[in-house]
Structure 1
Amino acid sequence: MEPNSCVNIHKEWDIVGARQLGREMAKKLGFGTVDQARIATAVSELARNIYLYAEKGQICFEIIDNIEHRGLCMTAVDSGPGISDISQVMEDGYTTSGGLGAGLPGVKRLMDEFYIESEIGNGTRIKTMKWVR
């Protein structure tokens, strides 16, 4: 397993591949089964958003293993339409797809760190981290 790996998201099946890679990397890093499930769920949500709203993008996984931290960093990047109102999409219960997914607020709750930047017409970048306890 590479310390850095990316999964391109172009079709619905890519969501499954990204989720599996996230879970596999989490397991190898020593995350417990509950945190592995949290990471897999967060990856699914990020990949689904790329697929639904941007059509294509990628999720990159990076193992962080230094003196202060040991964990997994995931960055979802797309060149889609961008998010016009980040505060709105970060509200619980907000949905544009009519789905029952946890959405970005759910991803933020599942992970330890969460950063989002988006520019209309240029896409969105979400970086999130989970630390081994």
Structure 2
Amino acid sequence: MNPHASQGRMQAMVDAMTLSDLIPDCLRDGDCSAERLRACEAARRPHVTLLQRLADQQVFYWNTGNPGVAFLRDRVFRTLNRNARLRYQVLSTTAGLQMTEPFTLLDRVIAAGFLPDFRAGHRPAIPQNGGS
């Protein structure tokens, strides 16, 4: 995990929880092979890949030396400061409450400040199953 997303420790704990569901059956069956443990990776890979992709995007924008990209980054930060809906989408994805990209293409245009967001004050409900 890229340290920019602050996800290493949290994802290690989720990995441990996922493995804790699998290990008793492996031990009971006497099969702790890599093949048997692949179920853990298969279960975790989609969310980890999403978080890695988000961290890579954050690094690109946070560490840019390009004035145009820095201008857009700063606009997005100002928008997120005022927009509860978009801020919630980013935070809930990072926290693992959503398993999908936080922004649609339209959300990206709104976050960059090019369109108004008439739902800016609306925060979606947290899904009951912990994911969407």
Relative to the length of structure 1, the TM-score reads 0.31
Of Structure 1 and Structure 2, the greater strand share is in 1
Over alpha carbons, which structure has the higher Rg? 2
Of Structure 1 and Structure 2, the greater helix share is in 2
